[in-house]
Chain A
Amino acid sequence: MENIRKIIVLMVFFGMTVSCEKDLLDQVNPNAPTPDTFWQTEEDAILGINAVYSGIQNRELSLWEIFDYDMRSDEGYSQSPWTDLANVGRHVNINYDFPWLLEVWRELYRTIYKANQVLENVPNIEMDESLRTRIVAEAHFLRGHCYYKLATLWGRVPLVTGIEDANTRYPQGTIEEVWALVEEDFIAAAAGLPESYTGADVGRATYGGAIGYLGRSYLQQKKWSEAAAEFEKIIAMVPGTYDLMADFKDNFTEEFENNKESLFEIQFVNNNGKTGGFPTYNNASGDETSERAQFFGVRPLGWTDGQPTKWLLNQFLSETDSDGNEDPRLQYTMTYDHPGELLYGQTYAERGAGPNDRFWRKYTNYWQDYESYFSGINTRVLRLADVYLMYAEALNELGRTPEAIPYANLVRQRSNMNDLPMTLNQEDFRLQLRHDRVVELAGESVRFVDMVRYGIAGPELAGPDPSLSAAESDFDTEFQNFVKGKSEYLPIPLREIDAYGGSLEQNPGW
C-alpha cells in the first residue's frame, strides 16, 4: 500500500510536470527576426536597399527580359526547339504564363515590393541623414527602373506604390499614369543621388543614371524638349564624370565595368570562380553570375537560344568605316560566316555552324574556349553613347537638326566611321540616326522600344517572302505575325488576370 501511494504521487507529479510548460503556446520563430524588429538602424537600411538591387539582378528578370526585348525586335530571332520560347520573338504568345514572360512580370513586382519597403521604412530610421536620403533615392531609382520595363513591355499595369495586405487588388494604370510614376521616381531619385561613388559603393545608382533614365522615359513618350533638357544635364558632366570609352568593345567585358561611359549597370561577378554546373543564387555562398553568355553563346558551348538576324548583319555591312573596312563594331557585336571568323577559337566548320548561323558576341566570353553559367559581365543599362544618340534624336525632332548631328558623329568617330554631313535634313538624319542606334546598341535591349517609338513595327517588316526564316531573309520575317495595336505589348500573364478576377484588363488584341 505504501508503494501504491508513492506511485500515485509520482504519477500525478509526473503527469502534471510534463504537461505544464508555461510558454508552450508562445512560440516565436527562432529562425529570423520579424520586420517589426528590422528597419531600425543604418545597417538595416543598407541591407534593405541591397535587397532591392538583388531583385533587378535576379536571373528570371535580368536574363529573361533580354528575350522579351531583343528577340521581339528586328535584330533578333530564335531557332529554339522550345516552341513557346521561339514564339516570343515571333509575336505569337500562346501561353500567357510562359515563364519567360510571367517571371519577368513577377520579378519586376517583387523588386517593387522590396523598393516599397525601403520607401516606407527607411525615412523613419534615425541615421546619417545624407545616407538616408541616398538610400531612399536609390529605392526610387530601382522602382523607376522596374516601372520603365513594365511600361515598355506591358503598358497598362497595376500601380503598386505602397505596402498593402495580401487581398489587395491594385488599380490598373493608364499608360500615361504608368509613365508618370516612372518620371516621379527618377525625379525623386535624381534629387537624392550622388554623381559618383568610390570604393565599395561603386555600382550603386547615380544622379547621372537617374537623369539619363528620366530623359529616356521622356523620349519614349516623345516629350522631346523635356528629354533634351535631361540629356543636357548629362552632357554637362562630360568629360568630368562621363566620356566615351576609347574602344567600343570595352563596354561589354568584365574588364572595364562601371567605366566612364556607363550610367547604370546590373552588376554580376563570378565570385566563386566556377566554370561548370549550375549557379545557385541568394544564399550564403551563392553565385552572383550572369547566365546571358551561356544562353546566347555559340552551340554547343552555349544554347544559342537567340541569334542576330541577317537584317542586322546587313545594317552593319551597309556602311564601311573611314578606311573602307567593315564597321569595327560588327565583330564585337555578332559573328557571321566569313574568312577568319572564329567561334571561341574554332572556325564555323569546326563548330558545325551553318553559313546562315549568326551568333551574338556582345556580352559573351568569346576569347575563351568555353562558355558557362558563370559570366561576370555586367549588363549595361544605360551608357553615354546611347544618351548622345537619344539627345540627337530629341534635338532632331525639335527641328534642331544641325545641333543634333555632332552628337551622332561623336559616337561614329569613336568607331572610325565617317562624320555625317552637316547638310542632312531632318528626315534623312532621322533615318540615319535609327541606323546608327542599331549598329551601336544592337543587343542592348533598346531596339524594340525604339521601333515602337518610331512607329515602324508592323507586318510589313517581314519583307516580300515571309516564308523564309530570319536567318535567310534580308528582313526579320518574324514580323509577319506582328499586329499593330497589339504586338507592341506582351499579354499580361493569365495567372494575373485570373487572380484579379476581372478588374485587370488584358492588353488589346490578346
Chain B
Amino acid sequence: MKKQLTRLTKMALLPILLLCAHSYVHAQEQLTVTGSVKDTQGAPLPGASIVIQGTQQGTTSDFDGNFQLDGVPANGQLMVSYIGFVQLLVDVDNRSSIDIVLSEDNNLLDEVVVIGYQSVKRSEIVGSVSVVDTDEMLKAPAGNVGQMLQGRAAGVTVTSTGAPGTSSSVKIRGLNSFSGQDSPLYVVDGMLISALGSDFNPNDIESIQVLKDAAATALYGSRGMNGVIVVTTKKGRPGPLKVDYDFYYGFQTINKRLPLTNAAQFKAINDLAYTNNGDAPLNLREGVDTDWQEELFKTGTISEHNLNLSGGSENSNYFISLNYFDQEGAIIGPEFERYQIRVNTQTKKGRFTFGENIAMSRSTQTRVNGNPFIDVVWMLPTIPVYDPNNESGYGYGDDNNSTFATNPIGLQEHYSNTAVTSKVLGSAFAEFEIFPFLKYKLNLGLDYAQIREKYFQRAGALRQNTPGAAFLDDRHTEFFNILAENTLNFNKTFGKHSISALVGYTTQKDNFTYNFAHTEGLSGEFWVQDNGTTSPRTEGREEVAGLRSFLGSFNYSYDDKYTLLFNFRRDGSSKFGKNNQYANFPSVSASWRISEEGFMENNGVFSNLKLRGSWGIVGNQAINNYATQSVLRYNQNYVLNNQVVPGATNLQLVNPNLRWESKTTTNIGVDMGFFQNRLSLTADYYIADVEDLLLAVPIPLSSGNTGGDPLANVGQVQNRGLELSLGYQNVINDFSFGILANGTFLKNEVKALVEEAGNLPIFGQGQILRTAVGEPVASFYVLETAGIFQNQAEIDAWGVQPGARPGDVKYVDNDGNGVINFDDRTVVGKALPDFEYGLNLNFGYKGFDMTAFFAGVTGNSIFNEQKWWSQRYDDNANYLVGDVFWTGEGTSNLIPRPQHLDSSLNPTQNSDRYVEKGDYFRLKNLQIGYSFPEAVISKLSLNKLRLYMTGQNLFTITDYSGYDPEVVGANGNGDFLNRGFDNGNFPSLRTGILGIQIGF
C-alpha cells in the first residue's frame, strides 16, 4: 500500500518535474553512463528503455542488457522501463556506471489496457470491463478465438462445435438481440468487424478486453448492444530480433458413442415393431452389420506452426508472424487449413507516430455435409456403407431395409463442399501530437474477404427414393468494408484534477457482392462450370451499407479517487428509413476508489477497493441491408401456350418504419484487492432492458408473405445478471500458483413482444422453442408426459386419450378440456443456463508449470433430436441398446411399445420425453509444461525452450444423453429461435497435444 502511494505521488509529481527539468538541465555537467538492465533473477533485459528524465533523449539496452548513454546530467535521473516490469527512476548521482535491476510488475492495476478508442490503466477503468488473461487463454489451442474465450471472462457465453473451421457462438450478457445478429462487435487494432472467425490467428493476440456495460460500450453506439471485444495484436519491443517458434501436434476424437443396436439386436426390435402393426417383419439384409458410428468417426489431427519475428529500436518496432494451422476432423470429411501472415509496425518521429497492423490469410474449409450425427442414428445396421449395386457406390435404404436416412459417409465422400477464404484485415494509423496534451489520430481500417465456395454432388443416390444427378454450384462472395476515424484526444492534469476527453468523426462503408453459378450434366471428375452441359443457372446481387458517426467522451478525475465519465455517440445508418436514420447513445458512469481515502490508510484488509456505477444506452442496427425497402421479384414464371412467360410481383412484406434496437443498462460494480492485490475480487450487477428488438416475427401465413418474415421492432426483454471474478496469485519460494475463477448468474424475462399483435408468443424451431411474455427467452414448450399406459384400465381412468392402447405414452391434459391437443403444451425448460462458470488453476515449480481449466453451466435444457429418432418407432431408424420399451404390463413406464407405421404417431409428439437437462461440468483443458533451465538453453543459444502436453475435454460430468451437452442450437444457430436444440450438433472433441516453444 505504501509503496503504491509513493509511486502515485511520484507520478503526480512527474509533470511538475517535466516542467522544471527544462530550465536547468543545460547548466549541468554531463556524463557518459554505461550499465546494464537485469531482472531480479539476474537475467538481462534486452530492449529496456533508458531515457534521461525530462528529455526525449535515451537509448535501449542491447541483447545482453547493456547500454551506453551520452550527455547524461550528473545530477539527473534516468527513467528505466520495460514492459511487464515496474518503471524505475534512478538518480545518476555522478555515477558513470549504473546497474539497474527491475522487478516484475505483478500489480495488474497498473497494467494499461485498450478499451476501444482509449487506453487506460486498469485501476482507472470506470465501466464494466473484463480483462482476459491471454497467457492462460493461449494455453488451450483452438482454431478460433471464440473457442479460446470460453469460460475466460464473466458474462461471456461461448458455445462451440467440434467441426473444423467453424466459428463459435459468442454472447455477452445473454441473448440481447432477437435479430439473429446477437454477437458482439470485435475491434481488432481499431478496425470494427462483426465476427472474428477461424481465419484469424489467435497467437497474434496480445490482449483482449471484453466491454460489457453501457459505460464501456457507448462509444460504439449502435453496435455496442451485444458487447464489444477489443483485441490488440502484438507489437515488437525495442531490442534486437527476437524469434519465437511454437509448434504442436495432436489427435482429436469424438469420445462418446451412443449405444446403438447391432444388426441382430436391431432385427429383434424392428421385427417386433412390424408385428405390433400387424405387418410381416422386413426381410432385412443378412450378413451386414454396420456400426455407423465407427465407420463415420475417426481420429482427427490438429497441428499448428507459429513463428514470430519481432524487435525494434527506440522509435520503431516491428512484429511479423507466420502461422499455419491444420485440422482434420474427427469424422470422415471435414478439414480446415489456415495460412496467415501478419506485419505490425510502428514508427515515431518527433510528434508523429504512425503504423499499421495488417494480417493476410487464406483458409480452406471442407465442410460437413448434411447432418451426419442424425444419420448415424437414422441409418440401419443392415445397410452396408458401400454397395457396388448402387450408382453412387454407397449403401442406403431400400424396400427391405427401409429408412430415409442419408448415407453419412457418402455425404462426405461423394459430395464435396469447400470454402476458400482470402482475407485482409488491418488498420493503418497516424497520430500527431499537436500539444503534449492534445493528439489527433487518423485511423483507417480494412476488412476485405473473398470467399469462394464450391459444392458438387457426384451422380447417384445416397438416400432411398432420392435420385441424384451430378451438379456443381460455385459461389463467390466479396466483402469490402472500410472505416475512417478521425479523433482528437485531450489529456491533461491540473494539480489533483485530471481531464481526458475525446471527440471523433467516423464513417464506415460496407460493400458486398455475390455471384452464383450452377450447372449440370458434368462428366468425369472435372468440377468446373465449363464442363457443365445442361441447366446453367446464375444469381447475383450487390449491397452497400453506410454508417456515419460522431463520438465524444469526457473523463474527469479528482485525486485518483473520484472519476466521472460521459460517453456519447450519434450514429446514422443507411439501413434505416429517412425517418429513423440517426440515433443517440449516451452513457454516464462514476467510480470511487475508497482505498485511496485517508481513512482507509493502514486498514490492513483492502489493498484496493473501488465502487463503480454506470448508466447508458447502446443500440443495434444489425439488420439486413435494405430491410426497410420493399422490392419487386422477377422470375415469377408461368407457362402459356407451352412457352414460359415471365412474371413479377412483390413477395416479401417489409416494415418501412424500423427503428434501432436499444438497450439501457444500469451497472453497479465493485473491485476489491487484498494482500497487496494477490487476491482480487470483482463483482458486477446489472439490469439491462432491451427495447424495440428487431425481430422477424412469424406473421400469419395468410398474409401471403414469402421469403422470411418481415422485421419489426418488438417488445422488451430484461436481462439481470451478477458476474463474479476472483483471482489469486502467490509465489512461495520456488512454488507459484494462481486461481482465476469467474461465474455469471443470468436471468432474463420477456416483458413485452409485438404489442400491435397482442403480445403473442413467438415460436422458433419446430414450434418447440417459445418466447412468451413473463418467461425467459427461448423456453421449451411441449406436451407433458406421465409415463406409459400399462393397461386398458389406466387408459379408461386417464380419460383424455380414449383411442390409446396399452404401451402408449400418457400425455397430460394441462388445460383440463378433456382432450389432448396442442393447447396442452407447456413450458418444461429453457435454453439458456442460470449459471455459467470457469475455473482456471495454474501451478509452477521451478521449470514445471501446470494449468487446469474447468468450465460448466447449470439450469438449461436441451431438446435431443437423436433420442426422438431412436424412439419414434413408426419410421425406421436405429434403436438404443438399453432402451427398455414397453412389451406388456409393468415392463416400462418410460418408453412406449414399438410400432412401425403407427398412424397414431403417439410416441413422436414433441414432449418432455426429449427435453433433457443441459448441465455439465467439464475439464476443458489440462496442460503440463516444462521449461528447460537457463544452463541448458544457453548452450543451445536459446533463451526459451518449453515442452508441453495438453489434453482437452478429458472428462465431462453431465446427465445429457446426446453426444455433447455443449449444444449451440439447431443447425449451429445460437439465436433465440434455435438455441439449445440439438439436431445433430457436431460434438466437442477430446484432444491430446504435444507442443514445443522455442525462443532466441
Contacts and interface: CB of A to CB of B under 8 A. Distances in A.
B642 A257 contact: yes
6 contacts: A29-B543, A50-B640, A50-B647, A113-B705, A267-B638, A276-B467
Interface stretch (A162-170, A174-182, A406-414, A454-462): A162-170
Given A32-B631, A81-B404, A109-B701, 14 more contacts: A24-B574, A27-B574, A30-B543, A47-B647, A82-B404, A110-B704, A113-B703, A114-B636, A166-B655, A167-B757, A267-B638, A276-B469, A277-B469, A481-B903
Contact of A117 (B572, B631, B650, B905): B650
Interface string A375-405: 0100000000000000000000000000000
A303 B636 contact: no
B905 A94 contact: yes
Contacts of A166: 653-655, 697, 699, 703, 705, 709-710, 712
A31 B637 contact: no
Contacts, number: 300
B278 A467 contact: yes
B544 A30 contact: yes
Contacts of B581: 25
Interface stretch (A200-208, A241-249, A312-320): A200-208
Contacts of B639: 57, 203, 267-269, 271, 288
B763 A498 contact: yes
B702 A160 contact: yes
B55 interface: no
A21 B761 contact: no
B352 interface: yes
Contact of A51 (B649, B697, B699): B649
A117 B702 contact: no
A113 B704 contact: yes
Interface of B: 278, 350-352, 402, 404, 430, 432, 440, 442, 444, 465, 467-469, 471, 482, 484-486, 505-507, 509, 518, 520, 534-539, 541-548, 572-575, 581, 625-626, 629-651, 653-655, 697-706, 709-710, 712, 754, 756-758, 760-761, 763, 767, 821-822, 874-876, 901-905, 908-909
Interface string A107-149: 0011111101100000000000000000000000000000000
Given A54-B638, A113-B705, A166-B699, A495 B484 contact: no
B902 A27 contact: no
Contact of B640 (A55, A167, A204): A204
A105 interface: yes
A496 interface: yes
Nearest to A203: B640
A26 B440 CA distance: 29
B643 A95 contact: no
Given A87-B905, A203-B639, A277-B520, A28 B629 contact: yes
A50 B633 contact: no
B647 A53 contact: yes
Nearest to A493: B701
Contact of B625 (A18, A27, A201, A498): A27
Contacts of A90: 903
A36 B909 CA distance: 46
Contact of B634 (A25, A32, A199): A32
Interface string A470-510: 00000000000100000000000111111111101000001
A191 interface: no
Contacts of A160: 702-704
Of A12, A25, A111, which is in contact with the most chain B CB atoms at under 10 Å from its CB? A25
Nearest to A481: B903
Contacts of B637: 50, 54, 281-282, 286, 288
Contacts of B629: 28-29, 34
B905 A83 contact: yes
A51 B712 CA distance: 27
Nearest to B510: A27
Given A32-B631, A86-B901, A501-B760, A19 B505 contact: yes
Contacts of B625: 27, 29
Contacts of A16: 486
A24 B507 contact: yes
A267 B547 CA distance: 48
A501 B757 contact: yes
Contacts of A201: 640-641
Nearest to B631: A32
Of B541, B581, B903, B908, which is in contact with the most chain A CB atoms at under 10 Å from its CB? B903
B350 A4 contact: yes
Nearest to A378: B639
A201 to B, nearest CB: 6
A495 B763 contact: yes
A61 to B, nearest CB: 12
A168 B703 contact: yes
Contacts of B876: 81
Interface residues of A, number: 110
B2 to A, nearest CB: 45
Contacts of A158: 700, 702
A11 interface: yes
Interface string A10-50: 01101110111100111111111111001000001001111
Contacts of B539: 283
A167 B350 contact: no
Nearest to A267: B639
Contacts of B536: 285
Contacts of A271: 639, 643-644
Contacts of B468: 277
B767 A25 contact: no
B901 A494 contact: no
A35 B430 CA distance: 47
A311 interface: no
Given A50-B645, A160-B704, A288-B638, A167 B754 contact: yes
Contacts of A165: 653, 655
Nearest to A268: B639
Contacts of A52: 647, 649
Nearest to A92: B903
A7 interface: yes
A496 B701 contact: yes
Nearest to B698: A499
A498 B655 CA distance: 21
A34 B632 contact: yes
A271 B705 CA distance: 28
A87 B874 CA distance: 12
Contacts of B486: 15-16, 19
Contacts of A96: 822
A71 interface: no
Contacts of A97: 767
A280 interface: yes
Contacts of A272: 534-535
Contact of B700 (A25, A111, A170, A494): A170
A218 B234 CA distance: 80
B844 to A, nearest CB: 47
A498 B753 CA distance: 14
A157 interface: yes
Given A15-B442, A24-B546, A35 B535 contact: no
Contacts of B712: 166-167
A34 B635 contact: no
A412 to B, nearest CB: 32
